[in-house]
Structure formats: structure tokens, C-alpha cells
Structure 1
Amino acid sequence: MLNSKELRKYDIEIVQLENKHYDFEFEGGEAFFAALDQELIRKGAFRAKVGLDKSSTMIQLSFDIEGTYELICDRSLDPFDEPFRAKEKMILKFGDRNEVLSDEIEIITWETTTINVARYLFDFIGLTVPMKKLHPRFRKPEEEEEEEEDQTLVYSSAKPDEETEPEVDPRWAALQQLKNGRSKDQ
């Protein structure tokens, strides 16, 4: 996957970097998404600012990615452009072997000379793809959605009147009386 000439544009040579902060900028388009051989995003464009903080034991990467990608509407099957923005962080710790510890932390070997940020860029862009892909013409205005959410919260958080006792099923009441009667006898 990372042997592609297109994806080599996203290489950062870390072996020559001193222990301090660096800023990098990357751009990508359809060639980027095609080079990754994936089905999630076919068309799109983005600009990314990557901050790199190198120390003797780790590299901290901060990503600020902005752009648009083409999605297919789940309702009408019409293509539409969806804007996105992602801000994420990644930590690469130096160690004896390559290992993924979590979504945000990986171990890279001390001998690593280059890191390729293409996979991180794609993963962070992919996280912004909505599960429900609706063309903007099918979306409710944000104000209406907020009003509906507020109403739902009012109804869901409403408490029953504390002075009135809840209705008890007569069968449970009879069982409760039997239970209370036995405990008094004993």
C-alpha cells in the first residue's frame, strides 16, 4: 500500500530532525484516495496541517485536516459533496519493535528513518464520514433539530408527581399483603 509513488508524498524524514517542533502541510485529491485501494471514499480533496513534536523518546503528531469528499445519498442515490474537518493526535513511541498499542499510540523502532502519514490522514478523514449519508436537501435545518432535541429532553427527564403514589397492579398488592401478613405472624 505505501509503495505507491502518490503516497510517498506523505513521507516525513525523521532521522535528521532535531528534538523540537516542526510544521508540515499536505494536500491530497482523487489520486490519494485511489492509491489507498479502498471503497469508502472515491473522490475528494483535502488540505492537512501536521504538527510534529520530536523528543528523544517519542514523536507527537497533531493533525488538522479540512476538505470535502463525495458521498452517495442513502435515500436518493444522488452524489453530493460533503465538507469535513478533523483534528486528531497520534503518538509514536520509540521501542524495540513496531507495535500498535491503541488508536492513538504506536511503537516504532529506533531505526525508523521515515514515517508516512498517509494512513493516518486517511484514517482520520474516514472517521468523519457520517453513518447516515443524506443529501443536504433532505436534512432538516439545524434550528429545527435543536428544538426537537430540547423537547425530547424535557419529556425524557420529566419526573412523575412526587405527591401521587404510582398505581399498583392489584395482583402485586395482594402478594404484598400476603408477604406482610406472614412477616407479622412470624
Structure 2
Amino acid sequence: MQIVKYLKQYRIPFSGLASGKHNFEFEIDNAFFDCYEHSLIKKGKLKADVELQKQENMLIVNFHIYGVIQLTCDVCLAEFEAPLDFHERALVKFTEEDWAEETEEVMVLSKTDYELDIANLLYEYVNVRVPYYSKCSEQGVNLSCDPDMLAKLSAEAPDAKTEQTEEKIDPRWDILKNIKNN
């Protein structure tokens, strides 16, 4: 129940707005990401500037989302802040009939709806920006991987590889190598 209450702040009541452009600001923080159990992001501090253009039969919603998200480096396992700054757009159409042709960019609302819930849109837009492979030196600002952790990883890696290669060598391959040398 707390999650639903928290996400209510990401609703835009458009029914009383005049036609034209209207601006809104939303904060996206750790509590926002906590509302989504399987979120790739657990920590972040972002701001969403939302411009809603109200027309008679539709809404045009432009998003400018910027700030930082917390990522874990896939190389050294250190947590670091990665900056985000991007723009997105969503179109909202009003219809009285059942219209099942909703797409990624076009949402459908009933003519009786009076507010637009953008929480899921914000969640999707931010999570899509999470890189498949996080690395301090690539997504972070003026960062490099933890040298102590890299030293530990490189010290352990060669031993494991040599043990695996020694175990995997089949004696029949040695005989075949001798044939090649003749």
C-alpha cells in the first residue's frame, strides 16, 4: 500500500488544464526505485522535467531526465555514479472505444480519464539506459577501476586457467600433435 501512495506523486492531473504547454518537475530517488522489486537500479538521484502539451484529442509529453544512477562495475565490483541525461517523448491519445493498438510511444486513455500516471514511463526510460556492461572508466566520470581489486583478480586468474588447461588435455591429442610434427 505504501508503494501505491508513494507513486501517486508521479501523476499529472490534466483534466483541468487549458490547451497548450504545461511544465512539471519530478524527483526520482532511491525510494522511487524501491517501489520496483526487479529494478536494475537501486540507487539514484535524478530529476525529470516534463513538458505536457495538451490538445483536444491527445497529449504530447516530452521528458528531459538527468542526474546520476548508482552502478556496480562488472570488472572491479566497485559502486560508482554514472551520469544520465536524455530526452524521451510519449503521445497519449483519447478514445471512447477499446483501442488495443498501444505502442511504445503511443498510449491510449479513455475520454473519462483525468490524470496521467508517468511512474512506469519514468521507470522504463531510466532502466533502458542502464548499460549491459558497467565499467567505472566507461560510464563513470573521471574514474578508473579499483587497482587493489584488479591486482587480486589478476593474481588469482592465471592459477585457475593453468589448472583447467592441465586437466583438460587429453593424452590422445599429444599423439595427434606428434603426427603433425612428422
Q: Deviations over 1:11-50 (max 9, x none)?
A: 1111111211100011121001101222311000101100
Q: Deviations over 1:96-154 (max 9, x none)?
A: 2364522111111111111111111111111211111001215xxxxxxxxxxxxxxxx
Q: TM-score normalised to the size of structure 1?
A: 0.69
Whether the 8 Å contact between 2:39 and 2:127 is mirrored in structure 1 is no
CA distance in 1, matches of 2:72, 2:78: 6
**Aligned with 2:124: secondary structure?**
helix
**Aligned with 1:119: secondary structure?**
helix
1:3–1:113 distance in 2 versus 1, CA, 3 Å: farther
**Aligned with 1:5: secondary structure?**
helix
* Bigger Rg, which one: 1
CA distance in 1, matches of 2:79, 2:111: 45
Whether the 8 Å contact between 1:15 and 1:114 is mirrored in structure 2 is yes
The letter of the residue matching 2:115 is: T
1:100–1:10 distance in 2 versus 1, CA, 3 Å: farther
The aligned length equals: 138
CA distance in 1, matches of 2:16, 2:52: 13
The letter of the residue matching 2:130 is: V
> Which runs of at least 4 in structure 1 moved beyond 3 Å after TM superposition?
97-100
1:115 maps onto 2:101 in alignment: no
The letter of the residue matching 2:28 is: G
- Superposed CA RMSD: 1.9
Q: Which runs of 5+ in 2 are unaligned?
A: 138-143, 146-182
Show the counterpart of 2:25.
25
Select the structure that is richer in helix: 2
33-42 vs 91-100, greater mean Cα deviation: 91-100
Q: TM-score normalised to the size of structure 2?
A: 0.71
1:42–1:61 distance in 2 versus 1, CA, 3 Å: same
The letter of the residue matching 2:128 is: L
The letter of the residue matching 2:124 is: D
Identity %: 28
